[in-house]
Every structure is written in structure tokens, then in C-alpha cells.
Structure 1
Amino acid sequence: MISIFMFLAALLFLLIGIPVAFVFGTVAILFAFFVPDLGLEVFSVLPFRIFGIMSNTTLMAVPLFIAMGLVLERSKMAENLLISMSALFKNVRGGLAISVVIVGAMLAASTGIASASVVMMSVIALPLMIKAGYDKSLASGTIASSGTLGLIIPPSIILIILGDVINVSVGELFMGALLPGLLLVGIYIVYILIYSYFKPEVAPVYQDVQDVSIKEILLAILPPLFLMLAVLGSIFTGVASPTESAAFGVLGAVVLAKLNKSLDFDMLKYASLETVKLSGMIFMILIGATAFSLVFNELGGTDMVLEFFTQDISDVWAFIAIAMISIFILGFFIDFIEISFIVVPILVPVMEAFGIDPIWFAVLIALNLQTSFLTPPFGLSLFFLKGAAGDMIKTMQIYKGIIPFILLQLLALGLVIIFPDLVFAFI
């Protein structure tokens, strides 16, 4: 029971708004100090665990992929891609929204940073969509959901974290997540086509696009596509590890920025500082979560969860259903990083006891966590979109527009549960 109170105390502090890393560390210290059977001596092994985090070569890919994404964010790649895609789909009803989805998928495969993608698309695409007469709810839903594709389409930061937490190959996890990610892109496009067909006024044909030659389209599409194929291809074929491919990706992003004539000292300074900030935040959360899990396990929390699922319920599908529903509900209130570092490690022993394939289970969690970026009231994509859009769009319009895309994500999650081969197609 004490371990349950510990988990609830952490959730309460998170909901209050206290920084995540401090919540995990503080709750761990408080319960270790006040529970008579523990004491602060339980932290004697913490330095060894922290050293293990520092020397983890898989986690080294996190700051590298962040740096790669930040360089590409400033290289005007998204703007060039959107202009080119808009020209390709200018005669299609809903074509501008489809262009946003495709560009969002390409940015996801090139950067892996959802926040940067949402902000870029909000600044570039939203004014175009409003000018074209698009329904603001559809425009905001398309942009927010397309921006979060970076959570499921490799090279995703969350997939790297899940690979480390669940202890599976990040390369295989990338391969497993590729088809479900593309499936989600396809579902978005089909929904936009059907919705705009039956309600033409929400997504009119937008032909007020500057003429772009085939050469300009190829120059906009091929460089990021080549970088994407080089990074993911080297991982999938086993030529390089995810960390080595991430380092290559950073170099490729710098080369693309140079070709776009957007490489300068200010860009490199911005990318370096933001990489340090984001990486520092993630690793501080990881250290705090390590302290939390250390005390939680000593209090018997993991054993209690394992006993509940394997003895009291003893049904694998009931476990999967409860796990997915719990992650979905928690996603309304707390961030995907907290869920990855606190909730997922509790589920891993149960997953192993039931003999569930860890790659498949990790992809299910990643798809589910993607909704946490979109679900009101604390969906980060909604905040990024509103912040970048300003007065162009109202908060309620964003909430209304995002609901269909949340349902589409749940549909994709259901399809991957029913058809596990979607995960193993490329493995």
C-alpha cells in the first residue's frame, strides 16, 4: 500500500506543476526517509546506476538526434517542402492539408522532434490554410497531429527511450515502428480526402500556389529524403548503430543547411544550446526516475503490480487493455517522458511474465504516447500550436479539430493490436 501512495504522491506533484525531475527525486527521498524499513541507505547504489546511464551508448543517440533536428529546423527545409508539396496537390480538394501531413511525416523522419515540427508547421502552414479558406478546426487538427508523427516515425526520441527502458534493440524498434507510422499517415490522408469530399467548404481547392518547376520540387524533396534514407537505412541494414547513424545525421543536417545557405554561427549556437537544454532535461528526469524506481521496488511496488496482473487477472489481453487505457488516461495530464520513465518500467516485468513480444509492446506504447501530445487539457502540441498561431485561431477550435485525429490514432493503435504483423514486416 505504501508503494501505491508513493505513485499517487508523484502524480499529485506532477499535476501541481512541479518540475518532473525534482518530483521523482523528492518523492523518493521523502518515502525513503520516513518509511522505517528503508532509510536513506537505499540510495547507496544510486551512483552506480547513474554511471550506467552516463555510459549507455544507446542513450547517446538522444542528444545527437536532437541536434540533427534543431539544425534542420533552422535550415528552411520545411518551408521548401511545403511549397513543393502544395504545388503537387494544388488541384486536389484538401490537397493543402494532405501536403501538411506528408511534410509532417518527412520532418518526423528527418528530425524526430515533435515540438519543433508543430511550431514550424504552425508558422508556415496555418496562415496558408486560413488564406485558402480552410476550416480552422481542420487546419489546427491537421497541423498538430502531423507534427506529432515524430513520436512514432523513426528516428523518434521516444523510441530510443523505450528501447532502453524495455531493453530491446533500438534498431529493431525503429524497423517495427516504421509501418505503423506510415499506416497512421495513410489514415490521416484518407480521413482528409473523405471529410473534404462530403464537406467541400471545410477544405477548398487551393490553386493560389506559386508555380514550382519539377527541378525545384526535386531539389526540395530529395536532400531530406536522402538524409532520411541514409540514417534509417544504415540502422536497418546493420551498417551502423543508432548512435553512429545519429552522428552521421548531424553531419548531414549541417551539409543540408550549408546547401540551403542557412548555415551560420547563430544557427550552430542555437542548435548547440537547445540540444544541451533538452538533453539535460531528459537525463535529469531519467536520474530522478531511477531514484524513484529504486525506492518503489524496495517497497514492493513492482512485485505488487506483477502479482495483480499474473495472479489476480491472469489474462494477457486484460493486461494489455488496462495498460493501454492507463497510459491513454495518464496522457491527458502528464508528459510522455514521465510515462516512459515511471509507468513503463512497472509494466515491463508483467510483459515478460506473460511472454509478450517487447518490440510489439513498445510500438503499442509509442502509438499510445503519441496521443498524450494531443489530448486536452495538457497536450503539448496544442500549447505549441496556440503559441505559434497567436490570435489566428481560438483554443476551442484547436480542441474541436484535434478530436477526430485522436480517434484516428486510437484506430491505428487498434489495428496494430489486431494485426501484430504490421510491426514485424521489416524485422
Structure 2
Amino acid sequence: MDDIHTFYLVALFAGLLICLMSGFPVAFVLGGVSLLLAGVGILFQHFDASFLAAIPQRIYAAMTNDVLLAVPLFVFMGAMLERSGIASELLDGIGRLFGKRRGGLGFAITLVGALLAASTGIVGATVTTMALLSLPVMLKWGYSPRLAAGSICAAGTLGQIIPPSLVLVLLADTISSAYQKAQLAQGNFSPDTVSISDLFAGAIVPGLLMVVVFLTYQVLLTFFRPDTCPPPPETEVEEMKISIKSLLIRLVPPLALILGVLGSILGGVATPTESASIGAAGAVLLAGFGSEHRKHANTALLFLAAAVFLKQLVFGNVEVPILAERISVAIPVLVFLGYFLVALLRVFKTGAISSTAVETVRLSSMVFMILIGAAMLSLVFRGFGGDEAVQHLISNVPGGPYAALAVVLAVMFLLGFILDFIEIIFVIVPTIAPVLLMSGIDPIWLAILISLNLQTSFLTPPFGFALFYFRSAAPPDISTRNIYLGVMPFIGLQILVLIIVAFIPSISTWLPYALR
């Protein structure tokens, strides 16, 4: 690569960094800086304008991408569940179960964070809700402010690795494109693909491992630092009791929804987009009937499960008259629709449907605008010879492809201090992933390592989103310094899990390949 193209690449990334730090919207920074540098390059005949002709094709490809249809549906599901009161019910139930033990509130927060991660996956909603509900009790009982802050923030980030995660949905599209590009470059003209279900399956065990590591750390604190996590006062122990029936009423609805969404994807019963639709409908049911009428939501979900069971497992293997099959499936579907319409009317009256729709449109449009801006950046970056520069840099890292992977993950970790995970997925991953995949690295393993790495970006100061959400909900007497120090051990635990998965790839790969 000649010096003039190196100058343009340096100017491109310097311009991006300066504009991003200024607070200007990310999507317009990516597209605007790229087009500005491309225009300068065309003016001085240093850039081939034909690269820009592919921008409409990239935008149309994003519009017609079936995988990305799951994004607004999962966002709607999470936003609606946030308004359903599921989080407060889970915190109350599991908090009563573990709260009477030393460190019990910390255990409850981690477990609730895992359940909310598998149902909502929205970091802001999880962190804010748990901070508002649990933090006052933890401080009242004498928990260390640092431990309380770290536990709540870390539990909120579990939604970025435990499926259905927005990180995994976006990574599935990016990694699949990079994998196909790598195979085509190697002469394979019938390339394999990587699906959302592959990444969901690959993330289950690492996600559970993350939960176990968090819980183990908190158990060790009860032995070595008991003063940081005392048991509740004796006057409140009696109030912590809860019956099995009451606990099941709180746990069954979200667990049923989680199993329905993930089970249908991993079992091949439905596509990720179809499963996200089921999840969105289930979230409307749970929000519409509320805790006092939760049995109606459970009944509706049972009828929907019966319809899926009859269609996929019974009539898929047994020959019956077509009329009998349609009637048998239609009856439970009609019952489900009746319950669903009642729930929809209820959430419409409360205003939850409009606020959820606005939140869904806002977040989804942000994702797609960043995707379009990243597509422009990718074309301009390629036009200035950036692909060859990245390939040259990675191939020259001493130690081979795995050393290059370690360097890339380290750079991503540092970028997480200043960049959002969406920007890293759409800008950084398409640039480096094809080069790594051409060296023989497993695409599912690479995607899970990247998602684990991106999870830390929610905790790393100064721009970790979980820290901002916690700060907005925490009382003023918890200093920002205590919040930063509180999350440091959990950042170390996340890096520990990342290292374990890096050295034992089968943790993330055995389940996806077993389900194929």
C-alpha cells in the first residue's frame, strides 16, 4: 500500500474518533466522514468512485435481510416485558428465597439478571429496575455499596451473552457474511453459513458459566469478606418467607416464555424471526393480564404450545386428512387469539403498547441507521485499500492466527471503553473477521469470544452503559468512584470466562454442532 492511501486511512479513523467524541450521532458520523473522505479522494483521483455505486445495494440488502427482522421483534418483546412487572415479581420471589442468607440478595440479583437476560435482554431496563428495587434494601441491610453496585451492573450485562441477545442477533448476520466472504476468497463457491440458532446454542453454556462464576465469587465473599454482605436483620427474617406455590407463580411465566422462544429456535420448530414473534405475543399476554390474572396468560401460552405441538410433532409425522389437521390446529390457535386480543386491549388502554412501540422504533431505527453508516464506511475503507492493510497487519502478528486473535480481542476490549457494541459489530468485526476466518478459526467460537468481549464494554468506564443506567437510579450518596471500583472484580470475572472459552473452544461449539 502506498503512502497516500495510508494517509487517507489514518485521516478516516482520526475523523471518526474526533466526531464520535464530540457526541454527534454515530450513524451520521460513520456515513458523513466516509463520504467526505471519499469525495476528497475522488477530487484528487485517489479513490475509485465506483465503490460508492454499491451503497444502494447495501441498503437494499439490509432492508431485505430476514435475519435482521428479528431485531425489532426482540426489542419489542423486551420492552413489553419491562412494562409487565416481571422483573419486580422475580426480584421479590427469588429475593425472599435467598435473602435470609448471608449474601442472599447478591445471589438473587445474579439469578434474576440471568432470567431477565433470557427474556428481555435490555441492559438499561434490567439495571435500572434492579437498582430501584434492590439497592435500597441492600444498603439498609449493610451491604457494601461497591458490592451492591457491581452485582447489579454485572447482572444487567448478562443479557448481552445469554440468548436471545441483540448482540448475538447482530453478530450472526455480520459473522455469517464474513464467513462466506472468507470461504469465497479461499475458492469455496458453495460456502457454509452461520445462523442465529448456531450462535444462540453456542452462547448458552458460556452464559451459564458466567452466571456460575458470578455466584461463586459472591459465595467466596461470604467466607472471606462477610462484612460486605451481611444477613438480614432478625426482625425482617420472618418477612422473607415464601411458599413454593407463590414462587412458582412468579417463575413459571417468564420460564415458559424463555423455553418457548429458545426451544423453538434450537429445536428447528421455528425460525428466529418466527420465534421472536411468539416472544412478542407472549410478552403482550404477560403485560396485559398482570400478576393478578397471570393464570390467563399461562392458559393462552399452553394453547399456543398445543397448536405448535400438533402441527410440528404430531401431524408432521402422522398422515391424517387435511381437514382434520386444520381443525385440530385451528381450535387452540383461535383460543390463543381470543386471550391475545383481550391482553392487547388491556395494554392499549394502559398506554403500554404505544410506549413500547415508540421504544422499539427508536432502538431499531438506530441499529439500522448505524448499519447503513457502517456499510458506507466499509466501502470507503475498502476503496482506500483498508482490507489489504488489515490482512497485512494480522498476518504479520508473530505467533500465528491465535496470537492475532488475542491481539484483536485486546483491541476490541480497549475500543469498548469508548465505542458502543453496535458500532464495534458493524464497523470493526466486518473488517477483521474475514482475515481471521481465512486462517481456519471456527466462526461460532469467534462470534462467542467477540460477544463475551463486548459484554465487558457495558461495565468499562467511562462510557459503560450499565454504569450510566445505575448512576441514574442510585442515590447520590453512592459515589461514582464506588461504582467504578465495584464493577472492577466483575470485569475481571468476565475476562476470566473469556479466557476459559478461548482455551476450551468446545464450551461454545459442541452444542451448535450437536444440534445440526
Question: Is the TM-score greater than 0.5?
Answer: yes
Match of 1:55 in 2: 64
Match of 2:241 in 1: 211
Match of 1:333 in 2: 418
Residue type at the aligned position of 2:374: A
Question: Which aligned pairs between 1:216-227 and structure 2 lie closer than 5 A?
Answer: 216-227=246-257
Shift of 1:163: 0.6
Match of 2:401 among 286, 303, 316: 316
Residue type at the aligned position of 1:84: G
Match of 2:286 among 256, 261, 267: 256
- In 1, Cα distance between equivalents of 2:51 and 2:400: 34
Question: Which aligned pairs between 1:340-351 and structure 2 lie closer than 5 A?
Answer: 340-351=425-436
Match of 1:187 among 207, 213, 220: 213
The answer to whether the aligner puts 1:245 opposite 2:275 as a matched pair is: yes
Shift of 1:132: 1.8
For the 8 Å contact 1:333–1:377, the answer to whether it is kept is: yes
Sort the Cα spacing of 1:10 and 1:407 in 2 relative to 1 into closer, same or farther, 3 A.
same
Deviant stretches of 4+, over 6 Å: none
Question: Which aligned pairs between 1:399-410 and structure 2 lie closer than 5 A?
Answer: 399-410=484-495
Structure 2 counterpart SS, 1:347: helix
TM-score between the two structures when normalised by the length of structure 2: 0.81
Shift of 1:311: 4.4
Match of 2:182 in 1: none
For the 8 Å contact 2:205–2:507, the answer to whether it is kept is: yes
Match of 1:236 in 2: 266
- In 2, Cα distance between equivalents of 1:282 and 1:233: 26
Shift of 1:205: 1.1
- In 1, Cα distance between equivalents of 2:366 and 2:475: 27
TM-score between the two structures when normalised by the length of structure 1: 0.97
Match of 1:380 in 2: 465
For the 8 Å contact 2:34–2:376, the answer to whether it is kept is: yes
For the 8 Å contact 1:310–1:354, the answer to whether it is kept is: no
Cα distance per residue 1:61-112 (max 9 Å; x no partner) = 0100000000100111111111111121133211101000000000000011
Residue type at the aligned position of 1:50: I
Shift of 1:175: 0.3
Q: Which moved more, 1:98-107 or 1:306-315?
A: 306-315
Shift of 1:8: 3.0
Sort the Cα spacing of 1:23 and 1:249 in 2 relative to 1 into closer, same or farther, 3 A.
same
Residue type at the aligned position of 1:264: V
Cα distance per residue 1:342-364 (max 9 Å; x no partner) = 11111112122211001000000
Match of 1:34 among 27, 33, 40: 40
Match of 2:102 in 1: 93
Residue type at the aligned position of 2:220: I
The answer to whether the aligner puts 1:123 opposite 2:132 as a matched pair is: yes
Q: Which moved more, 1:263-272 or 1:230-239?
A: 263-272
Q: Gaps (5+ residues) in structure 1?
A: none
Percent identity between the two aligned chains: 46
Match of 1:306 in 2: 391
Match of 1:160 among 169, 187, 190: 169
Shift of 1:40: 5.2
Q: Which moved more, 1:200-209 or 1:112-121?
A: 200-209
Match of 2:355 in 1: 270
Cα distance per residue 1:197-225 (max 9 Å; x no partner) = 21111101126244322111000001100
Q: Gaps (5+ residues) in structure 2?
A: 1-5, 177-193, 293-345
For the 8 Å contact 2:397–2:404, the answer to whether it is kept is: no
For the 8 Å contact 2:99–2:240, the answer to whether it is kept is: no
Match of 1:174 in 2: 200
Structure 1 counterpart SS, 2:459: coil
Cα distance per residue 1:185-204 (max 9 Å; x no partner) = 00000001101221111101
Shift of 1:19: 1.2
The answer to whether the aligner puts 1:293 opposite 2:378 as a matched pair is: yes
- Considering only aligned residues, what root-mean-square deviation do their CA atoms show, in Å? 1.4
